[in-house]
């Protein structure tokens, strides 16, 4: 069993090496920091032998394990993409608090954020952010341009804030708002529309790369 936090392709390669030996390979993905929150750390298991491993580890050792998929790499994909949120939120909070400290209002800002999530379910707040992005991203982009300037004026490098500005600008460039006549009702609608436009933009970029810059025609292979 491999419990390392690695990209899915590494787990797939390990299985390719291990399987011919006759050994049973199981992919493991540890979710969360071990022993930090007080709750049992969950481990996702994957592969053809994942179900059996989950039964044995849960029964004999009392571990908090869950079979996730027979396909090697999916458990690691879950962990890696989960880190987009968890590690990204960590980085965002640090930049937010550093700027607050520099401005002399860190405690006020921390109280504002913690009270927001104490009073409202995260699912509700997060869903509202995603849904409203469909029609409000252009206004938010212009606001983030100014926010980035504020951080630089405070002497804080806007690493996360600059990335946020760029993401909102991308939604403007993709003309995401044109996909909706009115504010959408679900997160799925926004994510589907965004993904479709990202795919289309990528295909268009690929076509441009394969065209001859002089003639504008596709390059011969």
Give tens-digit pLDDT for 155-192: 999 999 999 999 999 999 999 999 999 999 999 999 99
Which top CATH class is 8-78?
A: alpha beta
pLDDT value of residue 33: 73
pLDDT value of residue 209: 81
Q: How far apart are CA 43 and CA 41, in angstroms?
A: 7
pLDDT value of residue 40: 72
Tell me the three-class secondary structure of 1-19, residue by residue: CECCCCCHHHHHHHHHHHH
Q: Two tokens at 41? A: 């750390």
Share of the chain above pLDDT 70, in %: 93
Cβ-Cβ contacts under 8 Å for 63 (sequence gap 6 or more): 40, 43, 57
Identify whether the C-beta of residue 64 lies closer than 8 Å to the C-beta of residue 43: yes
pLDDT value of residue 41: 86
pLDDT band at 210; cut points 50, 70, 90:
confident
| pLDDT of 67 higher than 80 | yes
| pLDDT of 108 higher than 70 | yes
Task: Tell me phi and psi for residue 126, to 5 degrees.
Answer: -65, -45
Q: How far apart are CA 220 and CA 12, in angstroms?
A: 35
Enclosing H/E stretch for 44: strand 42-46
Q: What pTM, to 2 d.p., does this model score?
A: 0.84
Q: Two tokens at 139? A: 């206004």
- Average predicted confidence (pLDDT) for the chain: 93
pLDDT band at 36; cut points 50, 70, 90:
low
Please state, as a whole number, how many other Cβ atoms lie within 10 Å of the Cβ of residue 32. 15
Helices (H), the chain: 8-18, 50-61, 74-103, 106-119, 122-154, 159-173, 187-209
Dihedral, 46, 63, 87, 97 alpha carbons, nearest 10: 170
Average pLDDT over residues 57-69: 92
**Domain boundaries of the chain, sorted by first residue:** 8-78, 120-209
Domain 120-209: assigned CATH number: 1.10.1040.10
pLDDT value of residue 62: 87
pLDDT band at 211; cut points 50, 70, 90:
low
Average pLDDT over residues 31-38: 69
| pLDDT of 217 higher than 70 | no
Matching fold, domains 8-78 and 120-209: no
pLDDT value of residue 215: 64
- Cα distances from 53 to residues 12, 20, 23, 77, 220, in angstroms, run 18, 19, 13, 19, 52
Give tens-digit pLDDT for 116-158: 999 999 999 999 999 999 999 999 999 999 999 999 999 999 9
């Amino acid at each position: 069993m491999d419990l390392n936090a690695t990209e899915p392709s590494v787990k797939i390669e390990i299985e390719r090496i291990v399987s011919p030996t006759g050994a049973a390979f199981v992919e493991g993905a540890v979710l969360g920091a071990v022993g930090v929150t007080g709750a049992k750390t969950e481990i996702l298991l994957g592969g053809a032998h994942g179900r059996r491993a989950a039964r044995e580890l849960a029964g004999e050792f009392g571990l908090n394990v869950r079979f996730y998929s027979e396909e090697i790499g999916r458990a690691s994909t879950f962990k890696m993409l989960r880190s987009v949120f968890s590690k990204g939120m960590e980085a965002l909070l640090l930049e937010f608090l550093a700027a607050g400290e520099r401005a002399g209002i860190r405690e006020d800002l921390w109280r504002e954020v913690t009270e927001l999530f104490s009073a409202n379910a995260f699912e509700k707040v997060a869903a509202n952010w995603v849904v409203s992005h469909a029609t409000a991203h252009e206004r938010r982009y212009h606001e983030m341009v100014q926010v980035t300037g504020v951080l630089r004026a405070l002497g804080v490098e806007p690493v996360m804030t600059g990335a946020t500005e760029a993401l909102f600008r991308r939604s403007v460039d993709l003309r995401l708002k044109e996909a909706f006549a009115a504010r959408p009702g679900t997160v799925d609608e926004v994510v589907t529309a965004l993904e479709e436009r990202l795919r289309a933009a990528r295909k268009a970029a690929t076509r441009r790369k394969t065209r001859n810059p002089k003639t504008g025609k596709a390059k011969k292979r």
